[in-house]
Copies of this chain bind each other. A is one copy, B any other.
Amino acid sequence: MKRFIDLAEHTPEAVAELLELAGRLDRHPEPRALAGKVLGMLFFNPSLRTVASFQAAMGRLGGSSFVITPGTGTWKLETRNGVVMDGDAAEHIREAVPVLASYADVLGIRAFAGGIDLAADLEERKFMEMASVCPTPLVNLESAVNHPCQALADWKTMDDLGVPANGGRFVLSWANHPLHLPLAVPAAAVHMAAMRGMDVTVLRPEGYALPEPIMQRARAAAAASGGSLRETDDREEAMQGAHVIYAKSWSSTTHYGRPAEDRALRKKLEHWMVSERWFANAAAESIFMHCLPVRRNVVVADEVLDGPRSRVLPQARNRMTVQMAILHRLLAGGAQ
């Protein structure tokens, strides 16, 4: 394995091997596996789980990490090409990325969507620009429309809980939120569930349909795995027999890059908060997932998050376990 930037670059068999390795490293620690190895992480956006779980994963395998957050203890980085750099930014990513990569055995980069130009974000222009100047194994710590580490953790969480793959019903539901958030997690989740062979429903209000390229990728993954994909704004229909409801807020796609209009739209959508009522016609042991951070009583009611359906804590812990596997595979000379 040379990099981990998109789950779609890996076969289902490779994913299964990673998940098996994750479980093994969790049960049988290897505190010497990555001795002397270094993970560098470059965060253009805030992080809690990612920065903590990657450092923990590296530490558990005996390696070490450094974390760079431009603007916090370091200067701003320029991302545009060809500009005269007489403004705020003291350094260009064309230097910063390969330099940091040269100190590390693997580099992780988090770079959220610009949130203005949907086409640019769907093409992952910013992330791929940095990937193109990174000679070292690269991990995507969340890009404009992808979050493969989260997707892999989600996959493992469902495996751990015995959620059916083929035949399993996975509902990705839009949820209310005061801010217009990126498409990375919904795009990664819908693709992951489709790749896992599940029957996937995207439940969202008008104006929040996932962009067609994202749906298209997921449809292709479903076709290959024996899963299916549909979208609807009818909650009752969506939740019928659901094994998993995966809640997440994201930007309006009809009003992408226009926050004021997006805000006006979601004024009428405050009832898109997951509550116990949503599960009325779901499968008996239906579970609640969310990638966190989650706003209580906006995205989801306390009763769900504090109740027996919630699996957000093991889901978050699996970030660390799958990342141990990713790092081990990238650095300890594993197969593939």
Contact = CB atoms under 8 A, between A and B. Distances in A.
Given A48-B74, A73-B46, A320-B102, A92 B296 contact: yes
A47 B35 contact: no
Interface in A71-108: 72-75, 78, 82-87, 89-92, 94-96, 98-100, 102-104
A123 B103 CA distance: 33
Interface in A192-243: none
A47 B35 CA distance: 26
Copy count, this protein chain: 3
A32 interface: yes
A43 interface: yes
A150 interface: no
Contact of A91 (B36, B99, B294): B294
Interface in A34-63: 35-38, 40, 43, 46-49, 51-53, 55-56, 58-63
Contacts of A51: 66, 68, 73-74
Q: Which one of A85, A94, A104 has the highest number of Cβ atoms from chain B below 10 Å of its Cβ?
A: A85
A90 to B, nearest CB: 4
A92 B299 CA distance: 13
